[in-house]
Amino acid sequence: MKPKSLKARFFLIQIISMTLALVVTGYGLIYLFGRHGERRLSAELDTYITQIAAGLVFDGTDTPHMTSKLADPRFEKIFSGLYWQINDETSGKSALSRSLWDTRLILPDDRFDFGKVHIHKLKGPQNSTILVHERRLQFSSATGKQTVRIVVGIDTAELQAMSAQFSYEVLIALLMLGVFLLVAGAVQITIGLSPLKLVQKSIAEIRNGTSSRIEASMPVEISPLVDEVNDLLAAQEKTLEKAKNRAGDLAHGFKTPLTALKTDVSRLRKIGQNEIADDIEATSLIMRRQIERELNKARIRNIKTITPVKIAPAINQIVKTLMRTPDSDNKNFDIACEQHLTVQMDKDDLIEVLGNLLENAVKHAHSRISVRVYQEANYTRFMIEDDGKGISDQSRKAAQKRGVRLDESVAGSGLGLAIIGDVLDAYNETLHLNKSSSGGLLVSFEIKHVTCSKLA
C-alpha cells in the first residue's frame, strides 16, 4: 500500500535507496579489505620464500637446511600459524620450520615452471586452513643439481579475524553514516516540500476570502501547478459572474409580471374580490422572496474577499429601520455590543442575517428583544432573544438536525430563516434555536475569526 503523504513516500524511497547503497558499500569495503589483506600476506610470503632461498644450503648428504633463522619469531613457535617447508625433489629429503613440529604440509603432486609462485589453500596443523605460496628452484650441490620446492604458509584465521574486526568497525561507521543521512534527508525533504505548505496557506487565504489568487513565488517545478490553479480560479470567477448576471437578469425579468400582479390585486380589492386578491398577493410575495433568496445565494457565491466589519453600527442600522415598522409598537430593544467589536464577515451577509432574525423577533415578541454580542479567542457569538410564545421543542429539534432545511422544519418561519441558513452555511456555521429564559425563542450563531467559506 502506497503512503498517502509525499513526505512519507520520499522518506521511504530514501530509506530503501540509502540502505541498498550502504549495504553495497559495506560489502564492497569488506571485499576490498579482504583482497588487500590477501595481497599483503602474499607479498609477505613471497618475501619469506626469497629469504629462505638466499639462506638455503645442502650438507654432504644433500640434505637441505637453513644457515640462519628467519627474523619472524613465529617460525620458531610451535603451531604459531606461520610455517615454512623445503622439499628436495631430487633426493626426497625435506626441512621444516620448528612451528610445524611433527607435521608436514601435504603438497599437490604437480609440476610447474621454475621460479614461478604457485598458490594453494591446504589443510594445516590442528585442522587449520593454510594459505600456501611455493616456488620450484634449482640449486647446485656437491653431487650436482638439486630441485627443491620452497613452501611458506600462513593460517588464514588471522586474515579472517582481521576481516571480522574490520567488518564490525565498518558496520558501526555505516550505521552512524546512515543515521546522519536519515536526519539530513528528513531536513532536505522538509525544506524541499516547504513550498507546498506555502501553496496550502495561499489556498486557505483564497477559501477564507483574504485573497483571490496564489501570488507567492514558487519553484519552477511547482509554478505550472500554481498557474493552472490560478487559471482555474479565474475561469470559476468568470462562471460565477455570469451566473450572478443571469440571476439578476431573471430577477429583473420577473419585476414586470410581479408589478402587474400587484396592480391586479388592487383592482380585485376595488371590486370586492378580497379573498382572491389575498391569494394572489400571498403567491406573489412567495415568488418575490424566492427570487430574493436566489439572488442572495448568487451574491454570497461571488464573494471574493472578506474584511472585518464593525458589528454595532450594523445592529443600530437594522434596529433604526425596524423601529419604523408597525410590528415594533410598544417593543423595546436591549442591545449589548461593544462599539469596537468586529467580525470577519461580508457586511451585506451580516445585515442579511441580523435583519431577518431581528425582524422575526419583532414580529413574535410581546414587548422585549434582547441582542447580545461577545467575542472569545476564536469566534464571535451572536444571541438574539425575544419574549414571545416561541416555537415547539419538536420544531426546534428538527430545525437543528444536520441537513434539515430551516424553512421546512420551523413552522411559520417562511423563507427568512432559509436565507439565513444559506448565508451561515457559506461560513461553515449553523443557526441554533433554543427556548429563551422568558419563554420565547433564543437564536444564536458563531462566526469564527478565520473563516473557510465553501462558496467563496
Distance between CA atoms of residues 66 and 148, nearest Å: 13
Comparing C-alpha atoms, which of 429, 430, 387, 433 is closest to residue 413?
A: 433
Confidence of residue 409 (pLDDT cuts 50, 70, 90): very low
Closest of 30, 320, 339, 345 to residue 171, by C-alpha: 30
What's the pLDDT score for residue 345? 84
Q: Which helix (H) or strand (E) holds 358?
A: helix 347-364
For range 380-398, the mean pLDDT:
84
Distances (CA, A) of 325 to 285, 330, 390: 18, 11, 21
**Structure confidence by residue, pLDDT tens digits, 348-372:** 888 888 988 998 899 889 999 999 9
Which pLDDT belongs to residue 24? 93
β-pairing verdict for 308-310 and 144-155 = unpaired
Flag whether pLDDT at 302 surpasses 60. Answer: no
Q: Dump strand ranges (E) for 308-431.
A: 308-310, 332-336, 342-344, 368-375, 379-386
As a whole number of angstroms, the distance between CA 59 and CA 220 comes to 88
8 Å CB contact between 90 and 147: yes
Q: Residue 234 — very low, low, confident or very high, per pLDDT cuts 50/70/90?
A: confident
Distance from C-alpha of 29 to C-alpha of 170, rounded to nearest angstrom:
8
How many other CB atoms are there within 10 angstroms of residue 320's CB atom? Answer: 10
CATH superfamily of 308-448: Histidine kinase-like ATPase, C-terminal domain (3.30.565.10)
Residues 60, 97, 42: CA angle, nearest 5 degrees: 115
Rounded to whole angstroms, the Cα distance separating 221 from 218 reads: 8
Q: Looking at residue 410, what is its pLDDT?
A: 38
DSSP 8-state class, residue 216: S
Between vectors from CA 262 to CA 257 and to CA 268, what angle results, nearest 5°?
120
Q: Specify the amino acid at residue 363.
A: K
Task: Categorise residue 419: left if φ over 0, alpha if ψ from -120 to 50, beta otherwise.
Answer: alpha
Q: Which CATH architecture has domain 12-161?
A: 2-Layer Sandwich (3.30)
Q: Which amino acid is at 278?
A: D
Task: Quote the CA–CA distance of 436 and 389 in Å, as a whole number.
Answer: 10
Report the distance separating Cα 419 and Cα 364, nearest Å.
Answer: 19
User: Is pLDDT of 216 > 80?
Assistant: no
In sequence order, what are the residues at sequence separation of 6 or more whose Cβ sits closer than 8 angstroms to the Cβ of residue 1?
none
Quick one: cell of 320?
Answer: 433604526
Q: Residue 372 has what pLDDT?
A: 95
Average pLDDT value over all residues in the chain:
81
Global pTM exceeds 0.85? no
Torsion of the alpha carbons at 8, 10, 16 and 20, rounded to the nearest 10: -160
Reference 95, options 55, 40, 41, 141; nearest CA is: 55
pLDDT digits (tens, 9 = 90+) for 255-295: 667 777 777 778 888 888 878 777 777 777 777 766 666 66
pLDDT at 262: 74
Of the pLDDT bands very low, low, confident and very high (cuts 50, 70, 90), residue 419 is confident
Please give the pLDDT value at position 313: 93
pLDDT tens digit string along 5-20? 888 888 888 899 999 9
Give the residue with greater pLDDT, 256 vs 404.
256
Assess whether pLDDT exceeds 80 at residue 431: yes
pLDDT at residue 175 tops 90: yes
No. of H helices and E strands in the chain?
9, 14
240, 294 Cβ separation under 8 angstroms: no
Q: Helix or strand or coil: residue 442?
A: strand
Is residue 23 very low, low, confident or very high in pLDDT (cuts 50, 70, 90)?
very high
- Break the chain into its structural domains and give their ranges: 12-161, 208-305, 308-448
* C-beta separation of 202 from 214 below 8 A: yes
- Residue 441 or 218, more confident: 441
Taking the C-alpha atoms of residue 423 and residue 353, their distance in angstroms, rounded to an integer, is 7
* pLDDT given for residue 408 in this prediction: 44
Share of the chain above pLDDT 90, in %: 20
Closest CA to 445 of 390, 392, 388, 406: 406
Residues 354, 410 contacting (CB under 8 angstroms):
no
Q: How far apart are CA 361 and CA 441, in angstroms?
A: 8
φ, ψ of residue 440 in degrees (nearest 5)? -85, -145
Choose the weakest-confidence range: 34-38, 175-179, 353-357, 390-394: 390-394
What are the pLDDT digits (tens) for 112-131?
778 888 888 888 888 888 99
State how far the Cα of 448 lies from the Cα of 433, in Å rounded to an integer.
19
- Reported as a pLDDT band with limits 50, 70 and 90, residue 301 is low
58, 86, 89 from 94: Cα distances, Å: 11, 5, 9
